[in-house]
Amino acid sequence: MAKLDSQLFHIDALDELASGNSVFHNLDPRAKLVTTLVFIGTVVSFGKYEVSALIPFAIYPLVLISVGGLPFFYLAERVLLVAPFAFFIGILNPFFDQTIMVHLGSVSLSGGWISFFSIMLRFLLTVGSALVLIALTGFHAVCMGLEKLGVPRPFVVQLLFLYRYLFVLIDEASRMIRAKSLRTFHSRGTKIRTFGSMLGHLLLRTLDRAQRIHLAMCCRGFDGHVRLICPLKIGWKETIFVLGWVLLFFSMRFYHISEHLGLMIMRNIV
């Protein structure tokens, strides 16, 4: 339970970062959203044994972080926190794919290890860019961007409402857990019956709250449609941002920068 509490703290921290002020912060959320999607799509489009060609893509999150003035180590920590999942699935690859694919001097590398590194790299890039997107934009603005990009209004409203009441309900649940653990003298288990009654109460309170919110909405003229003002504008800055990055991604996709650079250097050395 402490886990979720701290996660909540991080939601807060990410949103706080989004209130910063930089060229990239001030861009229309749609520009960042689309670019990040293209980025992720390009990264995962590489073959599964690709490692070196993925490396140049790190430039996207890195540039966003530095220009946006985001705390690199904090974000890195967030990414690494979820890394075990990709790691455990990826680490199985070397067991199933043992064909030697690369010899580095006396060391032979199997396809499994290469694809494992590839998985980890993809993971770092995709997860990293998603976190950077939020830290640079904020959830509210991302939702507004989604709405302008044609995501159905009920779903956008749902996201906003969920986000609004996340903190309220987690608070309520924490109070409940605290009250329970004080009276059970911190004994560890919870019987399913107690569990049902705790969650059941929380559910009933939630339903009552929904009713009160509905009342509050009705009092202010709610007629089934939630209207939003989204002051979004695509200007030349946004256009340059999207086009520039997408061009870079595609050229990095088709022109293997790392390999050409490496070959060039090695030819000179040899």
Span 109-128, contacts to other proteins by CB under 8 A:
109-113, 115, 118-120, 122-123, 126-127
CB 24, min distance to other proteins, A: 10
Smaller CB separation from other proteins, 132 or 238: 132
Smaller CB separation from other proteins, 73 or 105: 105
> Which residues are CB-neighbours of 139 under 8 A, at least 6 positions away?
11, 15, 18, 159, 163
Query: Is residue 164 part of the contact set for other proteins (CB under 8 A)?
Result: yes
Contacts of other proteins in 216-255 (CB under 8 A): 216-224, 226-229, 253
Smaller CB separation from other proteins, 201 or 244: 201
Residue 127 structure tokens: 């997860």
Query: Is residue 130 part of the contact set for other proteins (CB under 8 A)?
Result: yes
CB 190, min distance to other proteins, A: 5
Using CB under 8 A, which of 27, 53, 136, 242 touches other proteins?
53
CB 78 within 8 A of CB 26: no
Query: Is residue 184 part of the contact set for other proteins (CB under 8 A)?
Result: no
Residue 117 structure tokens: 């590194």
Using CB under 8 A, which of 38, 149, 172, 248 touches other proteins?
172
CB 127, min distance to other proteins, A: 4
What torsion do the CA atoms of 239, 136, 252, 72 make, to the nearest 10 degrees? Answer: 150
- Rounded to whole angstroms, how far apart are CA atoms 194 and 23? 52
Burial class (CB in 10 A: 0-12, 13-18, 19+), 246: middle
- The secondary element (H helix, E strand) that includes residue 243 is helix 236-254
